[in-house]
Structure 1
């Protein structure tokens, strides 16, 4: 029987700390736009419709770059590709900071979106240089700090933009990214490339990218309303055709972008489905809770402004950071399957409870914090399990598939929640009715609960 040797521990605290600092800075840069969007719109002379392009641009780039970065990292070495990617992100951050108008800002956001690829590349490095137990802990640490960067970005964006300027709002996190990248380049040992002499599957890369772009734009267009049934059918047909073409190309490619045999293994497909279902429920909660908080206090809402909503959501963000940092430890102690099951149960229960228990702001704050903690600990445990369940040469592409699934799932969940509220809007007040929120929370909870059926068939080997 073949014996799999664990990698030697060849990286110390400085290298792991540098990866964590990089993840923190990236999360900060990613989050600065959302709380400062009104200021950006006024400064650049754009409206809400143009402002939404900033988020869509970042999302599309991240969804496209993550699997490509993971694949290239598997082949050419995680450190080499990470440094190149962070160079692009740094240029994007500087362009965003100096942008005089929307087109230039969008260019910066396109380059910044490449930051999503940093996560699978970091997982490649810790997988190659640490044994499985410590790999799970390191994956949790990096994921948790990326989430923590989101909290930092939301808290500092307004004060920096108002006290200094919007330019420094992008520049300060970018400077931190440059510094952390330099430390990673110096402290992290080189990881050897896979030595694969075959050509890169560029047709597969192009078709996967086109499929993801069509999916994101299609979902945004369909849930935005106003499309006739024929147009919705056309969008669905285009996405299906691109996905079918991608599968056909991958089946014939000598060195495919994604090995479909790996994708068909229980450990991978079940992890992707669980990630999608939990991300859908989480995305709906991310959209519904702030909307409910902002509804006028004269009715069933609380009349909270943007600043108050941000403060209400701080506990949820902190919970997500804590969950990310302890998820690896929990997965090593109790097994990923147990952690994922517990997280799914808590998430589904909290979402369904919100359908009836949303009469006080503290109920929303507590439930949102529970959801943030449970989802983060579950998805990080999935990432950690996947990173150690596949061969070392496939770590990047396998984990990047989960990262992309999470990004698309959260975005899709938010769009679905928006459509539910739109369908339940009172024509007199032009505000969503309370039953619309109730319906949204119930659907989010039931969607998340479906993940329990998939967890039952997850490969038992992921527990070790």
Structure 2
């Protein structure tokens, strides 16, 4: 495939708006399962353990698809791959809407997981069709609307499922995705491939296997009950897959991930900062609802699932606002300053929460502030990385950051669960207050580690 050198066509606000609305619809479809899980379990006659497979399936698919989608976008053009990917997601949404049982629903969720690849593909398009300064604002808008879709999904899932059926809560967002994809395909100009090299499929397979093994292995270890020999075997298996992937990438004529790119300060520092912030945030995502729901002796609030959903609305709104602010602030002050401020706010809030959790408003405010700060930092990291690497590597570089964030949040939530499990009082079968305190302090310290990474970033970096 020939690679053109023609100047890309500039796009206006309608095209960016269409990308943003597509992100909103995707976020909505992604979020409808969480608030309606009890209804799904009852309707499909499955237990909590089987119900959790829905989340695991979506997570694993997203972690695998994101880097592949980014690489394919660099290779064949972002618009072309985005349309194909949205076709897969739409098929998954329709399959989920018609699912008569759990296996069919899981198959639909596997296809829906491809939506995670939409973000790096969108970044490819805005990088190619917008001036550098406007790129950061557009990245923030698309990321913020994807988060906003989560709020829409949480609010509409229950009413739709209860008043119509569970089938419609998948069908309605999917219809919006199909319609918006057609609009994007019409309004967004085609983008030329940045590379004509062949795809390193062995590298793709090994990276996918490494990510799957990492997530499943950590969940198995965190779940407890594994003997030391089994834990060592899981660790060795993940390490062997990662080593094999690195060896293949070093020898490949056209590697999926150029390891020299990973060695760039802008790339490895962004990845490390994203991981630390995501781990701390993932612990918060798990610990705050747990403390709201627990009714302990002098702590906890015994909140219902509906109450917790309302308590988390401010955090979701904060994530939406963060998308716009992050892009503008990165353009005005530089990504490094934005990331530093976000990391400081996250770490300080979590450490303060260890002692200040006597009222619901403190938990609600802390969850909203950390959600805002982490989102601002993550978007600034994505925007700076998108313009720091070569144009041909935009898709894969941003994909790796998206995957790092997804995996980091998942592992952080698991770590929070381990700490609460270790601090459970046998007499009451409830986590002790000290277990929550330890969790919040641990999350704050982990988030603070990102500040050490930020120090090595180029001062005054601007995209």
TM range (shorter): over 0.9
CA shift for structure 1 position 193: 1.4
Equivalent-residue separation in structure 1 for 2:116 and 2:460 (angstroms): 28
Q: Report deviation, 1:456.
A: 0.4
Give the match's secondary structure for 2:461.
helix
Counterpart position of 1:100? 100
Distance in 2 between the 1:35 and 1:227 partners? 31
TM-score, length basis structure 2: 0.98
Summarize the alignment of residues 38-437 of structure 1 with structure 2, pairs less than 5 Å apart.
38-196=38-196, 198-296=197-295, 299-437=298-436
Give the C-alpha shift of residue 120 in structure 1.
0.1
Shift of 1:459: 2.7
**Tell me, which stretches of 5 or more residues in structure 1 are unaligned?**
none
Distance 1:289 1:314, change over 3 A: same
Q: Provide the C-alpha distance between the structure 2 equivalents of 1:85 and 1:10, rounded to a whole number of angstroms.
A: 23
User: Are the aligned partners of 1:386 and 1:462 in contact in 2 as well (CA < 8 Å)?
Assistant: no
Hey, what does 1:11 align to over in structure 2? 11
- For 1:36, the equivalent position in structure 2 comes to 36
Q: Residue deviations 1:73-126, cap 9 Å, x none?
A: 001000000000000000000000110000000000000000000000000000
Question: For the residues of structure 1 that align with 2:282 and 2:132, how far apart are their CA atoms?
Answer: 30
- Unaligned stretches of 5+ residues in structure 2: none
Counterpart contact for 1:7–1:129, Cα < 8 Å: no
Deviations 1:317-349 (A, max 9, x none): 101110112111000000000000000000000
1:463: Cα distance to partner?
2.8
Are 1:389 and 1:462, in contact at CA under 8 Å, matched by a contact in 2? no
- Does the residue aligned with 2:385 lie in a helix, a strand or coil? helix
Please report how far the alpha carbon of residue 7 of structure 1 lies from its aligned counterpart in structure 2 after TM superposition: 6.2
Cα gap change, 1:95/1:284 in structure 2, threshold over 3 Å: closer, same or farther? same
SS of 2:303's partner is coil
Shift of 1:390: 1.0
Q: How many angstroms does 1:6 deviate by?
A: 12
User: Aligned equivalents of 1:92 and 1:342: distance in 2?
Assistant: 39
Distance 2:412 2:142 in 1: 25
The question of whether the paired residues in 2 share the 8 Å contact of 1:267 and 1:462 is answered with no
The 10-residue stretch of structure 1 (320-329 or 265-274) with the greater mean CA deviation from structure 2: 320-329
Instruction: Tell me: CA distance 1:279–1:297, structure 2 relative to 1, closer, same or farther (3 Å).
Output: same
Instruction: Give the distance between the partners of 1:53 and 1:462, measured in 2 at CA.
Output: 42
Deviations, residues 268-307 of structure 1 (Å, cap 9, x unaligned)? 0000000000000000000000000000165411000000
Cα contact 2:136–2:330 (8 A) shared by 1: yes
Give the Å deviation of 1:195.
4.4
Shift of 1:462: 3.1
Distance 1:200 1:365 in 2: 46
Structure 1 residue 12: Cα displacement: 1.3
How far apart, in 2, do the equivalents of 1:149 and 1:226 lie? 37
Asked if the contact 1:147–1:321 (Cα under 8 Å) also holds between the matched residues in 2, the reply is: yes
For normalisation by structure 1, the TM-score amounts to 0.97
- Which residue of structure 2 lines up, in the alignment, with residue 440 of structure 1? 439
Distance 1:270 1:195, change over 3 A: closer
Kept after mapping to 1: 8 A contact 2:9/2:189: no
Deviations 1:134-164 (A, max 9, x none): 0000000000000000111111111110011
Mean CA deviation greater in 454-463 or 75-84? 454-463
Within 2, Cα distance between the matches of 1:92 and 1:215?
25
Report how far residue 380 of structure 1 moved: 0.3
* Alpha-carbon distance between aligned partners in 2 of 1:46 and 1:7, rounded to the nearest angstrom: 55
SS in 2 for 1:394: helix
Q: How many residues align?
A: 459
Confirm or deny: 8 A CA contact 1:8 1:131 kept in the other structure: no
Structure 2 CA distance for aligned equivalents of residues 189 and 300 of structure 1 = 56
Segment drifting more, 334-343 vs 292-301? 292-301
User: What is the distance in 1 between the residues matched to 2:373 and 2:62?
Assistant: 24
Task: Measure, in 2, the Cα distance between the counterparts of 1:193 and 1:67.
Answer: 16
Aligned-residue CA RMSD (Å): 1.2
The 2-side partners of 1:200 and 1:6 are apart by 23
